[in-house]
Structure 1
Amino acid sequence: MSSQQTSDYERNRNKWSRGQTPDDIIEICRRLCGQYLGGIWSEINDGRRRRPHLTVRRITGGFTNQMYYCAIDNNSDNKSCRRQLANDTPTEVVVRLYGKKWIESSGSCVGGGGSDGHNERLNDIVIYLMASKRGLGPKQLAFFADGSIEQFIKLHTFGLSEQSQDRYVCQLAGLLAQFHAMPVPIARTGDWFRQFVDSQLTKANRLFPLADMFVRLDTKNLMTVDLKKECQWLHRCLAAVNSPVVFAHNDFRGANVLVHELADDDGGGGCDTDGQQSVVDRQLLTLCDFEYSCYGYRGFDFGAIFEDWGRTETNNIGGNVSDETLRKFMTSYLDESVRIGGMAYREDSMVNTVDHLVREAKVFLMAQQMFFIMFCLATEEMPYNKTKDQILQRGDQRLGYYLELKNKYLSEGLIK
């Protein structure tokens, strides 16, 4: 594997974790793998001699769930074990234990599983299975009430190194086009973002004395901006962009794009297609973490992936993506969408052009900032071991960047 360019932001991103590791996690994983995978996994540590040994370690980088790598040693001298290992039995898997979603369910809102919020994980199972079947996500091996078991992929997450290579950028665009084209049989709604923003602002004002906190912390942007009016303006602005409603990932950022480590030296994949082959035929990347996926604006995913593009410092806000990269990405996205949907897709010249896609990405960068601003205001559980004051200061920083984007786009005539 070639040396990988990394940044302070990526290194810290890969250390994210939530909650304590259960004291009995080895027993939990042994029981789950034995029950749902069977075969050699059911023979682990059962008290008899020459049984396979289980290795369990936590995988960091997860922001919602807990993930555990589980592996059976394949050096057993037991003949039955050797036969099963030779019969394509997976010896490495990932056990996912569900955590509480950061974004509350509210019917059609992101992460919602119904108008009453029940069975929200049912949607997740449907989405994970469909993504797995299409080769867009990890292979799903089992589901249980509190989690799942899936294929283990030797990987790292999408970062600076991949952002600078055309083969990764263009394949990422193709994967997103395929994801957007999935006909997922769940509730269809196109404006979860409006519901989320409005509900979070209401919640924040109910839970916290925000005005007093802004003064005490001297968060100048939060003190001076009327967020209710600003959100109303943003809703009108996003509607005017005319971004189509698709099945969107809604958390489409580098941390949720897996880079196959064995792909680094294979020289595979570029931006060009020959009309017969998809840009994603040579698999370099896999998408993951679909907990917040639902029908929504196409542009939200564009804004998400480019929101931290080129970001090197954890404490910085805002990406650094060039128009050249945006156009290259959108050209591949459009080509793959045409391959899937035929020339009729390209003929919708109002929204399915490179220029329109680039505009969507830029305008929805503002939506990304407002999403995180509202999260900072309303959250009661503090991520990254931060205090509420620190989270509010982060929200103020986000709002400052949002205003920079707004003023820039207004001066350029990109928005009105």
Structure 2
Amino acid sequence: MRDIKSVKEFDFENIALLKGDTPDDIKEKCLQSCKDYLAHNWIQQTVDTIQFKRLSGGLSNQMYFVAISKPSTTSHVPQEVVIRIYGNKQFNNLDNTDNERLTDVIIAVMIADINLGPKIYGIFESGQILHFYKHRQFRLNEQNDPKLSTQLFRQLAKLHALDVPIKRTNNWIFDYFDNFYEIGFRDFPINELIDEYNCQTLKTHDLKAEIEWLKSAIMRCKSPVVFTHIDFRGSNIMVTEPNDEILICDLEYSGYGYRGFDFGTIFVEWGRAFSDYNTFYTLPTDTVLEPLIKAYIEESVQIFGTKYSDNDNNSYNQILKEAKIFCLVAFMWIIMYCIRNDENDDGMPVNKQVMLGMAEINYKNYFNLKETLSQQNIL
């Protein structure tokens, strides 16, 4: 990525997301974890009798596939698993400075218990042992499948209904915007870079003023606080094969927040392929969004009863409004990530031209969407 000259050269379809270097002794460590937590015929295995490979994905973790080369047909323990090794979290890890993964473990166990997320076989200080699922990510083809898209939003309703024993704050998004803006404009000459790379939208529209306007729009839309994924996008949604069941993964940034945020995050990629990140965004029509939101409401009524539907704040029109406003928030989220992100997890500098290029594209889409919502009298 550091070698390319512009964001247009960045092909998301042909990249493998790998965080940091693979430790030399990781195979031995993963095998030992399987022996400790799975036991049975894993105890007899050596590094020569297992299959092992690093998996793509996990920007805050490293993921490894481990399997017994000659699996037992009678063993009661899994013969292939995924081992997740924790990395540093980029935000919302301030409550547990001595154990930033404490809330992640609580959440992971709870969603696994109701088959909403991956089954867990082991939890240790530096990671987890998870069930291995043959799966695909939730992308454009899955969006266009009515059965899968309906199932996805029923799963989202179940997630939002969870009562998780963690801190219940809802202003993290404001802190995120403020902190990332401060870091981005403090740590390097971003205004000079914006001029150098001719980022016209960033030059024309004051970012700080837009953040303040967006905060007020969030407050006005009165989205209720629920347990949210916070990174609810296709790459964090698994469609298992061959059964086409949906599991939600990578909840390490999850917490209490505005209900609309998860809707906005998934809807800004709805109707778009993974490679369409640098193309003009068009908000899905209400006829596309309506069955998805109504599936969410129907599942919520199944969980909470008619008291849910009796509340005007849970009406279709209210959730539709929230979803559209939080599409703006989702674009601003990406913009601020690009503005602030000046180095990789390994401490190497990123390609700032590419990052600002991505911020510029998303800022354009933000204002195009803002104009559309103004015309719809949403704002």
Structure 1 length normalisation: TM-score?
0.84
Report the residue type matching 1:201 in the other structure.
Y
Instruction: Determine if the alignment matches structure 1 residue 62 to structure 2 residue 23.
Output: no
Q: For each residue in 1:80-123, what CA deviation from the matched residue of structure 2 results, as whole angstroms up to 9, or x when unmatched?
A: xx4xx51421001100011222x33xxxxxx3241x64422000
Evaluate the alpha carbon distance shift between residue 122 and residue 28 of structure 1 in structure 2; reply closer, same or farther with a 3 A threshold.
same
Cα distance in 2 for residues equivalent to 1:385 and 1:154: 35
Q: Could you say which residue in structure 1 is the equivalent of 2:233? A: 253
Provide, for residues 368-388 of structure 1, a one-character-per-residue CA deviation record: whole Å limited to 9, x for no partner: 111111111111324999501
Aligned residues: 366
Q: Contact 2:344–2:350 (CA<8 Å) still a contact in 1?
A: yes
What are the superposed Cα offsets for residues 160-217 of structure 1, whole Å, 9 maximum, x if unpaired?
Answer: 1111111101110010000001100000011210111011111112111111111111
Equivalent residue letter for 2:20 = G
The answer (yes or no) to whether the contact 1:308–1:320 under 8 Å persists in 2 is no
CA RMSD of aligned residues (A): 2.1
Report the identity percentage.
36
Which amino acid is 1:376 matched to? C
Moved over 6 A (4+): none
- What letter is aligned with 1:250? I
AA at the equivalent of 1:331: K
Q: Does the CA-based 8 Å contact 2:236-2:250 persist in structure 1?
A: yes
Query: How far does residue 321 in structure 1 lie from its aligned partner after superposition?
Result: 2.8
Kindly provide the CA deviation profile for residues 136-173 of structure 1, in whole angstroms up to 9, marking residues without a partner as x: 00011111111110111111111111111111011100
Give yes or no for the alignment of 1:263 onto 2:243: yes
What are the within-5 Å matches in structure 2 for residues 382-401 of structure 1? Answer: 382=344, 386-401=350-365
Aligned to 1:336: 299
1:112 aligns with 2:93: yes
Task: Give the Cα–Cα distance (whole angstroms) in 2 for the partners of residues 286 and 86 of structure 1.
Answer: 27
1:177 lines up with 2:177 in the alignment: no
- Please give the alpha-carbon distance, in whole angstroms, between the structure 2 residues aligned to 1:10 and 1:237: 32
Q: Deviations over 1:264-303 (max 9, x none)?
A: 5xxxxxxxxxxxxxxxxxxx11110001100000000001
Decide whether the 8 Å contact of 1:12 with 1:314 is kept in 2: no
Q: 1:147 to 1:19 in 2, by over 3 A?
A: same
Deviation at 1:319, TM superposition (A): 6.0
The alignment status of 1:353 with 2:315, answered yes or no, reads: yes
| 1:9–1:263 distance in 2 versus 1, CA, 3 Å | farther
Matched residue, 1:45: 46
- Structure 1 residues 16-415: aligned runs within 5 Å: 16-45=17-46, 53-74=49-70, 82=72, 85-101=73-89, 103-104=90-91, 111-114=92-95, 117-264=97-244, 284-312=245-273, 313-317=275-279, 318=281, 321-349=284-312, 351-382=313-344, 386-415=350-379
- Corresponding letter in the other structure for 1:247: F
TM-score when normalising by structure 2 = 0.91
Report the Cα distance in structure 1 between the residues aligned to 2:350 and 2:272, rounded to whole angstroms.
21
Aligned residue type for 2:355 = I
Does the residue aligned with 1:120 lie in a helix, a strand or coil?
A: coil
Q: Residue 33 of structure 1: CA displacement?
A: 1.1
Contact persistence 1:259–1:285 (CA under 8 A): yes
Distance 2:190 2:49 in 1: 53
Question: Following TM superposition, by how much is the alpha carbon of 1:40 offset from its aligned partner in structure 2, in angstroms?
Answer: 1.4
Change (3 A) 1:95 1:24: same
Q: Secondary structure at the match of 1:171?
A: helix
* Unaligned runs of at least 5 residues, structure 2: 1-9
SS at match of 2:303: helix
Structure 1 residue 41 displacement after superposition: 1.4
CA gap of 1:223–1:249, structure 2 versus 1, over 3 A, is same
Contact 1:155 1:261 in 2 (8 A): yes
Question: Residue 370 and residue 117 in structure 1: after superposition, are their counterparts in 2 closer, same or farther (change >3 A)?
Answer: farther
Aligned mates of 2:344, 2:63 — CA distance in 1: 20
SS at match of 2:278: coil
Contact 1:18 1:65 in 2 (8 A): yes
